[in-house]
Amino acid sequence: MPELPEVEVVRRGLRQWVPGARIDSLEVVDQRSVRRQIGGVQSFTAGLIGRVLQEPCRRGKYLWIPLPADGVSGHRPPTDRPEHALVVHLGMSGQLLVDTTGTPDQRHLRVRLQLSGPEVSDAAAPHGEERTETELRFVDQRLFGGLYLDRLVPAGDVAGQSIPSSVAHIARDPLDEHFSMSTLHDRLRRRRTGLKRALLDQSLVSGIGNIYADEALWRARLHYARPTETINRTESSRLLAAVQEVMKQALAEGGTSFDSLYVNVNGASGYFDRSLQVYGRAGKLCSRCAGAGRETLIRREKFMNRSSAFCPVCQPVPRRARR
């Protein structure tokens, strides 16, 4: 399932195309991709036709595009505060692709939004120039993702910020400017569980999945089963720094793409999988130990119906482990 870096790569790609674009028409090819929409396809269509898309937003693994109250477009962004948003959940295989009109449909195309770019004034537009027309396509092979309209509510902890009501329970993520290390430390200490289990809890800290949890814990030299109530403030700070470091590196490399499912809006795959240190490397040498002259093999253990990868030397098993 795509994690924070993969979703942020998509958001940044959308930011180049959708702000100020108007939805002229849409086609729901597969109704299962709008199954979360109250009122079904009819409500989804009526709520989007003629609306102007604003700057895409993200929290953790959730992505949304705010919609102004009316359908007024133009080369100047709408000034009214949006009350609703188009929410996108990529699920395991969802893709948001930007294509020019007429491009052949993808095999697993589920929803098509016909967009017209921000109108250029007659005085500024070259003679005979037309508005650029593009399509925003939702492609989803496994159908775990979807699109729906949702009401925006106050974020609560920051004045003036809004968030879809269905996402309000999701905690801020480590790359959010309002994310607090002190808050994270206090929450970890109160949780009384294993460290990796806490990192995967989206109500505690969002955007971290199995891959980046393993990578961050390796960088922070902390075992995945370390009891959260034993973490001191220095270790919490080191862990947060490791999480942010691995997320930023993954972003710079376009995310992690093990197959063709995780792509940006242009269909290009990321290459952070080449930089992974422990995830998917069971039985291979730990690079940090190798640099110190030790031949330590990465170990893989079952964890929460999946697995955890770690170095038994860099990340020693705690005396009192919580799995």
Which residues are designated catalytic? Answer: 2-3, 61, 306
Taking the alpha carbons of 311, 201, 170, 46 in that order, is the dihedral positive or negative?
positive
The C-alpha atoms of residue 298 and residue 276 are separated, in whole angstroms, by 12
First-to-last C-alpha distance (Å) of the chain? 22
| Rg, C-alpha atoms of the chain | 22
Q: How far is CA 162 from CA 10, 66, 82, 84, in A?
A: 20, 9, 9, 10
Residue 191 annotated as part of some ligand binding site: yes
Cβ-defined contacts of 261-265 (< 8 Å, 24+): 261/92, 261/93, 261/95, 261/141, 262/2, 262/6, 263/95, 263/97, 264/9, 264/10, 264/13, 265/10, 265/13, 265/14, 265/16, 265/17, 265/96, 265/97, 265/98
Note the helical H segments in the chain. Answer: 4-15, 40-46, 181-191, 195-199, 210-220, 233-252, 287-291
Residues 175 and 244: their CA atoms lie apart, in Å, by: 7
Long-range contacts of 276-281 (CB under 8 A, 24+ apart): 276/211, 276/215, 277/215, 277/218, 277/219, 278/214, 278/215, 278/218, 278/309, 278/310, 278/311, 279/210, 279/211, 279/214, 279/215, 279/309, 280/309, 281/309
- Give the residue numbers of the binding site for DNA: 108, 142, 191
- Give the residue numbers of the binding site: 108, 142, 191
